[in-house]
Amino acid sequence: MQNIVILTGAGVSAESGLGTFRDMDGLWTRYDLADVATPEGYQRDPDLVLAFYNARRRNCREAIPNAAHYALARLEETFPGRVTLVTQNIDDLHERAGHREVIHMHGELMKALCGACDHRWGWLGTMSRDDACPVCGAVGQVRPDVVWFGEVPYWMDEIAARLARCKLFLSIGTSGAVYPAAGFVAEASAQGARTLELNLEQSDGAALFDQVRLGPASQTVPAWVSALIDAE
Ligand code: OAD
C-alpha cells in the first residue's frame, strides 16, 4: 500500500473535446496568453477576458469525461493507499467522472471569485461586468475563480505535503512547460518517489521521469490503473 500523487494537465481532457494550450491549434496559438490569462490583461480589457472564459465554460459544459477521468476515479475509489489528484485543469471533468477529492491548483471555471471581498461561489452561466457579488454587493468585480499568470497557484502547501509523503508520482497529459507544476516531478524524486509520465508525446520534462509511456490518455490511463489495482 502506498501513497500516490497524480498531476493532470490539458491532455487528460483533450479526448473529451477540450483543447490543450500548446499543441498545434492549441488555445495559446489562437489567443495571446498575456491578453486573456493575466491580471494586467483583465485590467486592460475585462470584457475580452470574460468572453474568453465564457466560451471555455460553454465548451466545458458540453464536454463529457473520457475513459482516463473514469479510470482515475476508479483508482481513488478502490486503491488501499491514499490517492491525491492535483489538476492544472479548470474544467470539472474529474468531478463529473466521480472523483471525490480534486485539488484544482489553477482554480475552477465553474466558480466565481469576487475581486473585492474574495468570496467564491458556483457559477455555471455567462459572466459579465454587470454581475454583483452576492456577499458584498460589489459590481464589476466578479471574475472566474481561475489562477492567471503572475498569480499564486492554489493549495501549494497542501500539495508540497502530499508530494513529500508519496511513493509514486504520476504525470498525465501535461507539457511540463508551466511552473510550479512542472517542478513536482523533481520534488517527488528528491523525496525518493518513483516517477512515471503518461503523455501523447515526450514532454519538456520527460528526462526527469523514471519511466515514460506514450499514447492517448484514454488508453494509457485505464491500462495503468487496471495493472495497479490487479497488483494490489
Ligand atoms: P499543454 O497544452 O501545455 O500540454 C498538453 C499536453 O498534453 C502536451 O504535452 C500533449 O502532448 C499532451 N496531450 C495532448 N493530447 C493528449 C492525449 N489525448 N492524451 C495524453 N496526452 C495528451 O497543457 P498543460 O500542460 O495542461 O495554465 O498546460 C499547463 C498550464 O498552461 C495550464 O494549466 C494553463 C496553461 O497556460 C494557466 O492558464 C494558468
Q: Is 22 near ligand 1, meaning CB less than 6 Å away? A: yes
**pLDDT tens-digit profile of 86-108?**
999 999 999 999 999 999 999 99
pLDDT of 173 over the 90 cut:
yes
18's CB contacts (< 8 A; 6+ apart) are: 10, 59, 60, 63, 91, 93
99 catalytic residue (yes or no): no
Digit-coded pLDDT (tens) for 33-87: 999 999 999 999 999 999 999 999 999 999 999 999 999 999 999 999 999 999 9
Q: Does any ligand 1 atom lie closer than 6 A to the CB of residue 163? A: no
DSSP annotation of 42 reads H
Ligand 1: distance of its center to the CA of 106 in Å?
Answer: 13
- Cis preceding linkage at 216, omega within 30: no
Which of 167, 25, 176, 9 is CA-nearest to residue 85? Answer: 9
Average pLDDT over every residue of 205-231: 96
Give the pLDDT confidence of 24-33 residue by residue, as tens digits: 889 999 999 9
Q: Mean pLDDT score of the chain, rounded to an integer?
A: 96
Assess whether pLDDT exceeds 90 at residue 1.
no
Q: Is the pTM of this model over 0.75?
A: yes
| Per-residue pLDDT band at 204 (split at 50, 70, 90) | confident
Over residues 118-146, the mean pLDDT reads 97
